Amino acid sequence: MQKPTIKDIAQLAGVSRGTVSRVLNHHPAVNAETRQRVNAVIEQLSYRPNFSARQMRTNSSHLVGFGLLTDEVITTPYAVDMIRGAQETLWAQGKVMLVVNAGYQQDTTEASLEALLERRVEGIIYAAMYHRPIEFLPPISQVPIVLANCFSPDGAYTAVVPDEVAGGYAAVRHLLMKGHRRIGFINLGPTTRGEVPPLAASNGRLQGYKNALMEFGVPFDESLICYTNQSPAANYRLAYELMQLPEPPTAIFCGNDRTALGCYGALSELGLRIPDDVAVVGFDNQLDIAQGLWPPLTTVQLPHYEMGKWAVEYLMAVGDPHAQPVHQMIDCPLVERESA
């Protein structure tokens, strides 16, 4: 069966081929009644535009490339929300997104960015699985670029990142409001794979912890702070050790939800009830953990979806690769459940 053409649509809808083209390209100079009639015929015929031909005519692929630093953005359930936030925002504008897995290697990253530029993307979102600096990004002047969940140390690129300080503050303030004054903090350190620790997260959350204590007039106690390499064994051991202090904490703030999982295990081993004996707050809102624990975990939401959405909205609003870079921080709200 022969594929329908713009000419077929025009004849059935009783309009010119130029009008059909304007509807397909979301041109504003088409009245609502005509647009509706043309779209009805497009749906009836199951018409799909010829992408290659459109790209040749317009010199644009109508793609926004989403360059990924690591395959963990794709495989991690909560970080992949950055892709969803960007994709859904683009889809609402009649555009699609090209996703490229760049990995951690500089040469792979440069090749991936070049592949996106060759496909005449309108902009690029360069995303990281965890909040960290990006130091090997090659210069890009052809299209605007936004760094999502990462940033350039020299501030050369627009970046959208989570407000780690506000997130740490929200977690600890919640515990302080519940009456806790001895609050342990299992912060994030180097991973078991020997990677660079996510300093933006660990430093920011620690500052938020200190800010909340200061607001409530509670002295900072270094003995309540420890750092995990994020292995299950370390998460368990550090929570256990905190509870062996001469004056143990009545609440524990965990650097992420995986840490909270180990914390739950240690507290259970000690015969302590959550939150009656010890309150626990996590960070990330990784739903398979936060909702799967009992009691369900109070935690802080990492705004992956919102970062993806903001990045696309910025690219579509600015569209200038030489615009003055901005550094946008997205709030990390507390998600209250029953662990605190």
Q: What is the model's pLDDT at position 160?
A: 95
Q: What is the model's pLDDT at position 237?
A: 96
Identical fold at 63-162+304-331 and 164-300?
Answer: yes
Does domain 63-162+304-331 sit in CATH 3.40.50.2300? Answer: yes
pLDDT for 28-86, tens place per residue? Answer: 778 888 989 998 998 888 776 654 455 444 555 555 555 444 445 555 666 678 888 88
Does 242 have pLDDT greater than 80? yes
Instruction: Give me the chain's average pLDDT, please.
Output: 84
Rounded mean pLDDT, 120-125: 80
pLDDT band at 145 (very low <50, low <70, confident <90, very high): confident
Q: How far apart are CA 160 and CA 71, in angstroms?
A: 20
Q: What is the model's pLDDT at position 14?
A: 92
Does 173 have pLDDT greater than 90? yes
Does domain 164-300 sit in CATH 3.40.50.2300? Answer: yes
Q: What is the model's pLDDT at position 116?
A: 73
Q: What is the model's pLDDT at position 213?
A: 98
Between helix 304-318 and helix 81-91 the angle, nearest 10°, is 40
Q: What is the model's pLDDT at position 81?
A: 85
Q: What is the model's pLDDT at position 6?
A: 83
Of residues 31 and 267, which shows the higher confidence score? 267
Q: What is the model's pLDDT at position 45?
A: 85
Of residues 296 and 189, which shows the higher confidence score? 296
pLDDT band at 181 (very low <50, low <70, confident <90, very high): very high
Does 138 have pLDDT greater than 90? no
Does 99 have pLDDT greater than 70? yes
Enumerate the domain spans of the chain.
6-49, 63-162+304-331, 164-300
Rounded mean pLDDT, 10-23: 86
pLDDT band at 218 (very low <50, low <70, confident <90, very high): very high
φ/ψ (deg, to 5) at 47: -75, 140
Of residues 330 and 86, which shows the higher confidence score? 330
Q: What is the model's pLDDT at position 49?
A: 62
Classify 6-49 by CATH class. mainly alpha
Is the separation of the CB atoms in 240 and 266 below 8 Å? yes
Q: Which range, of 97-101, 183-187, 205-209, averages the lowest pLDDT?
A: 97-101
Does 105 have pLDDT greater than 70? no
This prediction's pTM: 0.76
